[in-house]
Structure 1
């Protein structure tokens, strides 16, 4: 098990996924334009929902791109990891809307798995990660996100504990 590479992936995923929450705390609704432009899918539900914003995508990629050089990686690795993770987040949001779950509603595993898996697979294009290490990254991120989300809620940084 290459603990260093697993740690690097977890740092990049955490940077990407905490950046939108931090940006919302700092900026409120400023520049929070919805990624789906308010479009409605054929099922009558929003494509992604109002909580998925361009600001969130941009800051996620920027935070992870900034974190990557601190760990000896090219900024592009952080940016690609974050972009893939945010794609996973959009995918889970799309699925949640199809299931008619409200934006920001809790859907354990569905909320974390795609963003963890997509981001980890993107990082694995550069970092030599074996299947077991990919599984550890994904599992650790899922558990970590659940714990950190509750802590952020307790600190008033999130509106929901998930």
Structure 2
């Protein structure tokens, strides 16, 4: 019990200098979130962002033309990169629309949620290309925050999600997505 108390209370004395402070505060805030809402939103985010990956795995190179049509900007890099396809965008929007009613959302809300997830993904791809990073490169944070932040902001007004709760959901998604990205890469290195 003494070790547990030290683990829980010690971060409070070190303030922002100890990473445990952030974790402690996130867990404290997470206690205020309806667990059903948290799980529903995490699953919806995973569906929206996982649908393009699963579709690419199942269809291989079929219908895999790049969304940007291989357009290169003046910096010599693609607009988004070869891994962003019309097939992936369509898979995310359609799959999320079909799954959304299971979580109490309409087909339209699900489709828009999927759209905003892909808009966030395209923003991160655009930024990565400007940083000269190759298509498919994983950048923790940049690869996880926009694709969750955009759709959560879309749902924020409908569900009255407070900003601190949105931040907790965002962090939970980023950590879960990082873990699944690592696991997927270990199981299927070719599709990383």
What residue number does 2:87 align with? Answer: 55
SS of equivalent residue, structure 1 residue 29: coil
Write the distance in 2 (CA, Å) between the matches of 1:56 and 1:3: 30
Distance 1:64 1:157, change over 3 A: farther
Of residues 126, 151, 168 in structure 2, which corresponds to 1:136? 168
- Whether 1:103 aligns to 2:135 is yes
For residue 154 of structure 1, report the CA deviation from its aligned partner. Answer: 2.2
Write the distance in 2 (CA, Å) between the matches of 1:122 and 1:24: 26
8 Å CA contact retained: 2:57, 2:191: no
For residue 107 of structure 1, report the CA deviation from its aligned partner. Answer: 1.1
Write the distance in 2 (CA, Å) between the matches of 1:56 and 1:102: 18
For residue 90 of structure 1, report the CA deviation from its aligned partner. Answer: 0.3
TM-score norm. by structure 1 comes to 0.93
8 Å CA contact retained: 1:5, 1:127: no
8 Å CA contact retained: 1:9, 1:123: no
Work out the number of aligned pairs and report it. Answer: 160
SS of equivalent residue, structure 1 residue 125: helix
SS of equivalent residue, structure 1 residue 48: coil
Of residues 118, 122, 134 in structure 1, which corresponds to 2:150? 118
Q: What do the CA deviations read for 1:108-132 (whole angstroms, capped 9, x no partner)?
A: 1111111111111112132221111
Write the mapping of 1:19-98 to structure 2, written as runs, cut at 5 A. Answer: 19-98=51-130
Gaps of 5+ in 2: 1-32
Higher relative contact order (CA 8 A, sep 6+): 1
For residue 157 of structure 1, report the CA deviation from its aligned partner. Answer: 7.0
Write the distance in 2 (CA, Å) between the matches of 1:5 and 1:158: 34
Write the distance in 1 (CA, Å) between the matches of 2:189 and 2:91: 16
Higher-Rg member (1/2): 2
TM-score norm. by structure 2 comes to 0.79
